[in-house]
Amino acid sequence: MTIAQRFANGTDPLERMIDRYRGEQLTKFDATHDLIAEQFDQDRATDKRRDHPTCDHNREIRERADRNEISAAVAINGLRQIKFKWDMSFDQIDTTADQLALLCQSIFKSGRDQRNQLKRLFRAVDLESSVPTKGIAQRTQNPKWWRVLLYRECRRRTEKTLRQMGLVSKTTGIYLSDFTFAGWRKSERRAMELMKEAELVEVGSGEIISVEEASHGSTSNLENRRAELMTRIRGCEELAEERRLIPMFLTLTCPSKYHVFAKGRKNPKYNGSTPKQAQQHLTGNWDRIRAKLNRRGIDLFGLRIVEPHHEGCPHWHLLLFVEPSQRIEMLEIIVGYALEEDGDERGAQQRRVEIVQLDEAGKAAGYVAKYVAKNIDGFKVGEDHESDGQSSMDTAQRVRARASTWGIRQFQFLGDASVTVYRELRRIANDPHQAASLTGETQTAMVAADEGDWAAYSKENGGPCCPNNARPIHPYYSEIKPVTGIQRAGYMGRCYRQSRESKRRQASFCLEPVNGFCSLSAIARLGPV
């Protein structure tokens, strides 16, 4: 029997998936079986990749298998096992990851057409967009890499289905489904348990530090994260006041086709996109906006906050500081690109870009404080206007869970100095030996960072709107790309070395010359902020 005939026989993969969804994992939702069956029927009608494994996109690899190319035949056997099972448990993910890693190892051992065979494998299991661009051989043969990928895809594809079924809204599950939220909370609890068990040991002194305690002293602590963001916003305000810039607050929204619901009902224009795809739409628009602003010589800096609508679709809040003479031109460019896609639809002129002119820069921090808190811990925000009467302190967890599920960055500063350098300088300030080795603007920047004065630190590191390659202080990265410290051109100093060890990680500090630069390394990411 040929491989193609083996695929043609057997049960329909769709029926197997529906049977799995009828199990205990989704029994809490009423009529889930009928809704999922209807949803996947629609998907099959519009997307060939969700059809039976004998569809056109798999024909080439099946034909190669029929010609006794063993590596391709092995890959097909692996496809059958995971094709429609995006609701796998942790144990199933581990097993599948091991199998896929072995398949990739067999492909690389065959020595023939390796990259194309890998691409066909990813395409056949509906992971074509996840093919790594770097280190493809090392990553695809590593079960750990597959575990991370499969876990992420299982969460996102299950959430996509539940969202299309209407189970993500202010009345059913605000920002993300109850099912996905429960899984996220379980993962958070597992992470907390692991941190309680782990310790860091200071090499030399023998001092033992709890990983949980160190985490509470970093930006993993929500209070520290919120405080750091507000410190940076206040610093941007001070810089804007010195330069006599005016603050603008903008809200950018996606076209209606990215929203599942419209006025409380299923949106007939909805195109089936995920929050990740909606975020990519906004990011692509902003890239073009920034490019045109640069061509026009319009400099700006500020903050971007990504916030979800009740059904999960993202929208952006932008706090921008700009020259008064360039304000109108900047707004024309932003509005023009925002309305480029479906700009003639009803309500687009009013809702696609909302503009608030703040009276003075000194009020900007107070204005955006509620948006920052709402997306972190809901501190002193009160009722969440997107919800059905729930407190922001209750919904903030769901906001973070949704950002984690879809891989969406919540906060990003534009045109200002590196926060990585700021954090490293604060850590270095706690070590008298390393702090004494710094001179010039690096020492001044360290003092400002240690005092929490973002404006003074930013000015010492090039100030706002300075190109990154022109800033005097840069983060110095090791080959595996963790942050290892800072560097400044022309600085030479003595070398100090200190290490912390644990079963799961190793950290060290050193001051060493690299290609004419002296880099102060601090691999240890944990510690007081």
**Per-residue pLDDT in tens (0 to 9) along the chain, 529 residues:** 443 343 344 444 445 544 454 444 444 444 444 554 455 455 545 544 444 444 444 454 444 444 433 333 334 444 443 444 677 888 888 988 998 899 888 888 877 778 888 888 888 788 888 888 788 888 899 999 999 999 999 999 999 999 988 899 988 899 999 999 998 999 899 888 888 888 877 766 777 888 888 888 888 889 999 999 999 999 999 999 999 999 999 999 999 999 998 877 889 999 999 999 999 999 999 999 999 999 999 999 999 999 999 999 999 999 999 999 999 999 999 999 999 999 999 989 999 999 998 876 567 888 899 999 999 988 888 888 888 788 888 899 999 999 999 999 999 999 999 999 999 999 999 888 888 888 888 999 999 999 999 999 999 999 999 998 899 998 876 554 555 566 555 543 333 334 455 544 433 333 333 333 333 232 223 233 2
Residues 454 and 324 grouped into a single domain: no
* Domain end among 348, 379, 414: 414
**Domain boundary residue, one of 120, 147, 164:** 164
Residues belonging to the active site: 367, 371
Is 187 within the bounds of a domain?
no
Continuous segment of H or E residues that includes residue 499: strand 498-501
Domain assignment of residue 214, yes or no: no
Domain span at residue 297 reads 222-414
* Residue 495: predicted pLDDT: 35
- In sequence order, what are the residues at sequence separation of 6 or more whose Cβ sits closer than 8 angstroms to the Cβ of residue 494? 437, 511
Q: Residue 520's CB: how many other CB atoms inside 10 A? A: 29
Domain contains 207: no
Q: Are residues 390 and 468 in the same domain?
A: no
- Answer yes or no: do 12 and 101 share one domain: yes
Answer whether residue 180 is part of any domain.
no
Q: How far apart are the C-alpha atoms of 205 and 222, rounded to whole Å?
A: 31
Same domain, 276 and 355: yes
Question: Could you give the C-alpha distances from 151 to 175, 401, 413, in angstroms and in order?
Answer: 20, 15, 30
Cα of 250 vs its chain's centroid, Å = 22
Residues 278, 272 contacting (CB under 8 angstroms): no
Taking the C-alpha atoms of residue 278 and residue 420, their distance in angstroms, rounded to an integer, is 28
352, 448: one domain: no
Q: 425 and 410: one domain?
A: no
Claim to verify: residue 306 and residue 403 sit in the same structural domain: yes
Q: Is residue 203 part of a domain?
A: no
Place of tokens 């994992």: 25
Cβ-based burial of 59 (10 A; exposed 0-12, middle 13-18, buried ≥19): exposed
Q: Which of 7, 476, 398, 466 is nearest to 177 (CA)?
A: 398
Q: How many domains does the chain have?
A: 3
pLDDT given for residue 482 in this prediction: 54
Q: Strand, coil or helix: what is 477?
A: strand
Distances (CA, A) of 509 to 3, 214, 215, 431, 499: 57, 17, 19, 10, 6
Q: Tell me the β-bridge partners of 210.
A: 199
- Domain co-membership, 385 together with 496: no
| Whether 250 contacts 354, CB under 8 Å | yes
Q: Are 460 and 439 in contact (CB under 8 A)?
A: no
**What is the rounded CA–CA span in Å between residue 68 and residue 246?**
69
- Start-to-end C-alpha separation, the chain: 64
H/E stretch holding 484: strand 483-489
Kindly state whether residue 12 falls inside one of the protein's structural domains.
yes
CATH code, domain with 409: 3.30.70
Instruction: Please state the separation of Cα 466 from the chain's center in Å.
Output: 25
Residue 459 counted as domain residue: yes
Q: Is the pTM of this model over 0.95?
A: no
Same domain as 401, residue 444: no
Tell whether 233 and 132 lie within a shared domain: no
Q: Which of 414, 439, 468 is the last residue of a domain?
A: 414
Cα–Cα dist 12/30, whole Å: 24
pLDDT given for residue 68 in this prediction: 37
Check whether residue 82 and residue 129 sit in a common domain.
yes
Which two tokens mark 35? Answer: 């809704």
Query: What pLDDT, on the 0 to 100 scale, is given for residue 528?
Result: 32
Q: Are residues 246 and 148 located together in one domain of the fold?
A: no
Residue 185 resides in a domain: no
